[in-house]
Amino acid sequence: MTDEIRPWTYAEHLRDDDGPLQARTPWDAATIDLRSPGPIIGVAPHHSHRVREPAIDRMAISEADRLYEEDPYTERFIAATAHRITPNQSRYEVDVNRPPHEAVYMGPEMAWGAEIWGEDPPPELVENSLERWHEFHTVLDHAVQHAIETYGRAIVLDLHSYNYQREGPTDWRTDEKPVVNLGSRYLQLDQRGRTLKEWFLDRLDDVTVLGEEALVEENSVFYGGYLNRRLSRTYGEDCLTLSVEFKKVFMDEATGQPHAKTLEDLARQFDTIVQELGEEVGAPVLSDPETPTTVGSYEPE
């Protein structure tokens, strides 16, 4: 059974208890999976498809259209991290990768032109969603602060995916968009951070798609989102946020169905990079991570 833990209690747990922890926060904003404390923290801000019943009842956007802009399976890419913090709600309920005044999508201009609400959400629903935003970021802050205080630095692996076929079907090999993009524009880097970022980018450059060469770029299609900017602004050189975007070559982006072999191939390669990152910085990682490959659906409260 997953425990419930309050954000300030989590800070105490990190400080006083080396034991593993699997828990959810009181507002159910985040799931914490702590196998072993260390400087590496994995997050997948848009992996969830879940929307609470009070919100889903008022939404006009279809489930398929929500799924199109979510990042299913990205939690799999952080499976080798020994410390994971993942949101439990869809970005369409509250987007933890946007600032709080933009975290609840209120109109098409905030959500790729899609009409989100059939009827305006009442203020208390919006407030409840924003409570989840604050809870997620509070827990993440405690993890980052503990890593900095204990190990001298936090390394946040911030995993995303992106649609590359918005204008119609295209071959991922020839459309000139990278299979992997590292967003690093907002990082504040000292020499150790710069060296580690370049090491990480060099390892990403070895990624293939079922043995086929894959284009890897830095700050090409994405520069890093709000979470990256906030952590960099708050913690400066002490927090290295590596924001990775995978092109959705591992799934049918129109339906959300995975291409299982491609997904596991890419995920296993990223597992290896995470494991080598652990060796590089002396951090615990998982040698045989679990391999979930399901999207799941919303779970009404």
Looking at residue 18, what is its pLDDT?
A: 72
pTM reported for the whole predicted model: 0.95
Write down all domains in the chain, each with its CATH number in brackets: 3-281 (3.40.630.40)
Looking at residue 290, what is its pLDDT?
A: 75
Q: Could you give the CA distance from residue 204 to residue 104 in angstroms, rounded to a whole number? A: 33
- Region 11-22 average pLDDT: 89
Instruction: Give which of 230, 136, 144 is closest to 186, Cα–Cα.
Output: 230
Q: With contact defined as beta carbons under 8 Å apart, do 21 and 13 qualify?
A: yes
HEC secondary structure over 215-245? CEEECCCCCCCHHHHHHHHHHHHHEEEEEEE
Looking at residue 2, what is its pLDDT?
A: 73
DSSP 3-state of 154: strand
- 250-289 tens-digit pLDDT: 999 999 999 999 999 999 999 999 999 999 999 999 998 8
- 113-156 tens-digit pLDDT: 999 999 999 999 999 999 999 999 999 999 999 999 999 999 99
- Which helix (H) or strand (E) segment holds residue 24: the answer is strand 21-24
Looking at residue 91, what is its pLDDT?
A: 98
- Which helix (H) or strand (E) segment holds residue 34: the answer is strand 30-34
**Residue 35: pLDDT band with limits 50, 70, 90:** very high
- 195-248 tens-digit pLDDT: 999 999 999 999 999 999 999 999 999 999 999 999 999 999 999 999 999 999
Helix axes 226-235, 123-151, angle to 10 degrees: 50
Averaged pLDDT score across all residues of the chain:
94
